[in-house]
Amino acid sequence: NAGVTQTPKFQVLKTGQSMTLQCAQDMNHEYMSWYRQDPGMGLRLIHYSVGAGITDQGEVPNGYNVSRSTTEDFPLRLLSAAPSQTSVYFCASRGSTAIQYFGAGTRLSVL
C-alpha cells in the first residue's frame, strides 16, 4: 500500500543545474499536485493536474515545469535551479473527495 511515492528524498544542486523530482501514486487518483514548503510559509501550490495530459499553474509556478503523461506519474522539473528554490517539495494526489494525500517529501538544497 505505497500511496504517494516521491524520489529522491534529498538532493543538493548547484545553481543552474537541472533536475526532475519524481512523484508516483498507486491509488488511481486523477488529481495530482506539487507544493513547496518554506519556513514560516506553510504549503504553496506550484502546479497541479486534473488528469493525464492536463496541467495548470498554481500559486508559485515560476521556474518549474510539469507534465502528466500517465495517471500514475507527475514529475516536477527544475530547468535551471536557483537558491530561491531551496525548499521541501511535496507531491499530493486525491480521488473523488477533497482530501489530498501527500508523499513524504523531497528536501532540495540549491547552492
Partner 1 sequence: DQQVKQNSPSLSVQEGRISILNCDYTNSMFDYFLWYKKYPAEGPTFLISISSIKDKNEDGRFTVFLNKSAKHLSLHIVPSQPGDSAVYFCAAKTQGGSEKLVFGKGTKLTVNP
CA distances (Å), origin 109, targets 16, 18, 98: 12, 12, 31
Contact 21, 76 (CB under 8 A): yes
When the beta carbons of 52 and 104 are compared against partner 1, the nearer one is 104
- Count Cβ atoms below 10 Å from residue 48 Cβ, excluding itself: 21
Name the minimum Å distance from CB 104 to partner 1.
5
CB of 84 to partner 1, least distance (A): 19
Task: Tell me which residue of 49, 52, 60, 57 sits closest to 100, measured CA to CA.
Answer: 49
Closest separation in Å from C-beta 32 to partner 1: 8
**Binding region for partner 1 (CB under 8 A):** 4, 6, 31, 33, 35, 40-45, 48-50, 56, 58-59, 90, 92, 94, 98-105
> Which of residues 103 and 110 has its CB atom nearest to partner 1 in the complex?
103
Closer residue to partner 1 (CB): 41 or 111: 41
The angle formed by the CA atoms of residues 82, 64 and 40, to the nearest 5 degrees, is: 65
Reference 26, options 4, 57, 49; nearest CA is 4
Residue closer to partner 1 by CB (options 14, 97) is 97
Least separation in angstroms between CB 22 and partner 1:
15
